[in-house]
């Protein structure tokens, strides 16, 4: 608290003004006193030298006439001069003939060259009394400095009083201006803190049209603008969130429709083509058995039809498996993945693929299951098509209500600066985001491809997808 007071604008303003005032007024007082002192000493020196000169001349005349009584009267009048401390007339043998005022401590005091050099409070001067060039004696005079010092003292007191009054007045005025200024700046600073805290309803009263007033007006305008923009930004954010939610729902609907279409196709293949192929195979078998004894060529043709029908059946069966991974429904996600990977491994014997699973993966829901299954399928297809990898890993784990799938290959990687019109990676991302999850792709030329998918398990996948 105390520290903040010393750093406050109010304190610094007052302290600077008062310090400057004290220094300037001290210089002024010192300057005045020096001038007064010089003026007084010059005046005293001039007065003293002209007085002693006149007294020496007049005294010479009286001494020639040996009229000491008149001389004493004359000098008595001279002694009325306020600053005169003593006046002594010495005869030719240095014997005092007239002594007026306080007699000097010594018979012949040391003569001071200038009032400034006085140390005992009395300015001692002397002058020879000459008549027609003949020495008649000496005048000794002492001028008291007390009057001069009193005048200097009074002037010093007056100067210091005026300075003190001026400092006091300045402090009062500075404090008043400083208080007014810092109070208004304080209002501005508090308002800025309020705005910093998110309160945009702040409005500073504009008291005067000075700099602080203009700052307050500009501040109010700025807050209004910020408030306006923040409002628009919040609206835009809400709209974006809405759009995102709608987008996810749309993606989910479209994926569900895609899965439904695949199921439908698989059913058609199974029911229509599958039945027909089975019928063809049955017919070919009966032709072969009927024609065995008759015609060897018919038998060979029937065998050929049987082989072709069997191959078509395998292809159709494999297509059905891809379209509707029944194993996913029958055995669960982990078994379906293992089966998919082992079938892939058979087709790609040069690439080693390892799957690791951890955590409870039994009841993830069909939506999550199909998402993970399709992503692994697409990753493996891409690796076959592009990677030239020697090793692939698939990690699936359920940790703290999150499902994490990570697939990595050590193949040639993707140069992301090259655009492609493929839909596989986009589809994976869409599937994950439709479940509120995150999709991360980490790759680069020569760095392989790493795909990490995180799906929250709170409410994802509770809905069921109907399997045929």
Q: Which does 386 bind (CB under 5 to 8 A by kind): ligand ATP, Mg ion, none?
A: ligand ATP
Phi then psi dihedrals of residue 334, to 5 deg: -65, -45
Binding flags for ligand ATP, 427-456, as an x/- string (CB under 6 A): ----------------------x-------
Decide if residue 461 touches ligand ATP (CB under 6 A): no
Residue among 411, 324, 398 at smallest CA distance from 365: 398
For the record, the structure tokens of 298 come out as 């018919």
DSSP string, 202-252: -------SSHHHHHHHHHHHHHHHHHHHHHHHHHHHHHHHHHHHHHHHHHH
Looking up tokens 């004894």, which residue turns up?
293
Count residues contacting ligand ATP (CB under 6 A)? 16
Looking up tokens 């210091």, which residue turns up?
160
Element (H, E) at 388: none
Decide if residue 424 touches ligand ATP (CB under 6 A): yes
Q: Which does 259 bind (CB under 5 to 8 A by kind): ligand ATP, Mg ion, none?
A: none
- Least distance (Å) between residue 258 CB and ligand ATP: 13
3-state secondary structure of 408: strand
438 contacts: CB under 8 Å, gap ≥ 6: 432, 452, 453, 454
Q: Residues 115, 137, 325, 411: which binds ligand ATP (CB under 6 A)?
A: 411
Between 59 and 382, name the residue whose CB sits nearer to Mg ion.
382
Q: Which residue is nearest to Mg ion (CB)?
A: 424
Q: Residues 412, 433, 452, 467: which binds ligand ATP (CB under 6 A)?
A: 412
Q: Residues 204, 414, 434, 457: which binds ligand ATP (CB under 6 A)?
A: 414
Between 424 and 456, name the residue whose CB sits nearer to Mg ion.
424
In the complex, which residues of this chain contact Mg ion (CB under 5 A)?
382, 424
Q: Residues 255, 383, 432, 457: which binds ligand ATP (CB under 6 A)?
A: 383
Q: Residues 409, 410, 457, 460: which binds ligand ATP (CB under 6 A)?
A: 409
Between 363 and 442, name the residue whose CB sits nearer to ligand ATP.
442
Q: What is the rounded distance in angstroms from the CA atom of residue 320 to the CA atom of residue 318?
A: 5
- Least distance (Å) between residue 428 CB and ligand ATP: 8
DSSP string, 63-99: HHTT-HHHHHHHHHHHTTSTTEEEEEEEETTS-EEEE
* Chain residues that interact with ligand ATP, rule: CB under 6 A: 382-383, 385-387, 409, 411-414, 420, 422-425, 449
């Amino acid at each position: 608290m105390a520290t903040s007071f010393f750093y406050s604008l109010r304190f610094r303003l007052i302290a600077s003004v008062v310090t400057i005032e004290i220094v300037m007024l001290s210089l002024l007082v010192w300057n005045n006193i020096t001038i007064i002192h010089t003026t007084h000493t010059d005046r005293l020196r001039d007065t003293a030298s002209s007085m002693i000169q006149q007294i020496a001349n007049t005294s010479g005349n009286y001494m020639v006439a040996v009229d000491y009584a008149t001389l004493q009267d004359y000098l008595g009048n001279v002694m009325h001069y306020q600053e005169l401390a003593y006046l002594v007339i010495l005869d030719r043998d240095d014997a005092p003939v007239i002594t007026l005022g306080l007699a000097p401590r010594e018979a012949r005091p040391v003569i001071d060259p200038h009032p400034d050099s006085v140390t005992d409070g009395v300015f001692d001067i002397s002058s020879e009394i000459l008549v027609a060039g003949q020495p008649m004696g000496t005048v000794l005079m002492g001028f008291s400095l007390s009057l001069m010092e009193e005048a200097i003292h009074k002037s010093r007191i007056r100067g210091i009083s005026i300075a003190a009054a001026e400092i006091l007045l300045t402090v009062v005025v500075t404090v008043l201006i400083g208080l007014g200024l810092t109070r208004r700046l304080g209002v501005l600073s508090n308002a800025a803190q309020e705005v910093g805290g998110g309160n945009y309803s702040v409005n500073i009263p504009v008291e005067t049209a000075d700099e602080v007033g203009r700052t307050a007006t500009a501040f109010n305008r700025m807050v209004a603008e910020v408030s306006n923009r923040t409002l628009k930004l919040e609206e835009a954010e809400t709209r974006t969130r809405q759009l995102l939610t709608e987008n996810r729902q749309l993606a989910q609907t479209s994926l569900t429709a895609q899965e439904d279409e695949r199921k439908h196709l698989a059913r058609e293949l199974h029911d229509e083509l599958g039945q027909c192929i089975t019928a063809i195979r049955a017919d070919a078998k009966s032709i072969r058995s009927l024609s065995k004894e008759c015609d060897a060529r018919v038998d060979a043709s029937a065998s050929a039809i049987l082989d072709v029908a069997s191959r078509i059946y395998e292809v159709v069966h494999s297509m059905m498996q891809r379209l509707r991974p029944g194993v996913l429904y029958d055995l669960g996600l982990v078994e379906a993945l293992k089966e998919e990977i082992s079938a892939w491994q058979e087709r790609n014997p040069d690439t080693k693929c390892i799957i690791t699973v951890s955590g409870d993966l039994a009841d993830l829901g069909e939506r999550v299951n199909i998402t993970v299954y399709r992503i692994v399928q697409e990753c493996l297809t891409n690796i076959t098509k592009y990677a030239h990898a020697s090793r692939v890993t698939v990690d699936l784990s359920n940790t703290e209500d999150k499902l994490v799938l990570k697939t990595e290959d050590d193949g040639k990687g993707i140069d992301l600066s090259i655009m492609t019109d493929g839909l596989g990676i986009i589809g994976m991302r869409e599937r994950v985001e439709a479940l509120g999850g995150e999709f991360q792709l980490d790759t680069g030329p020569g760095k392989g491809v790493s795909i990490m998918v995180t799906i929250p398990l709170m409410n994802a996948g509770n809905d069921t997808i109907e399997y045929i």
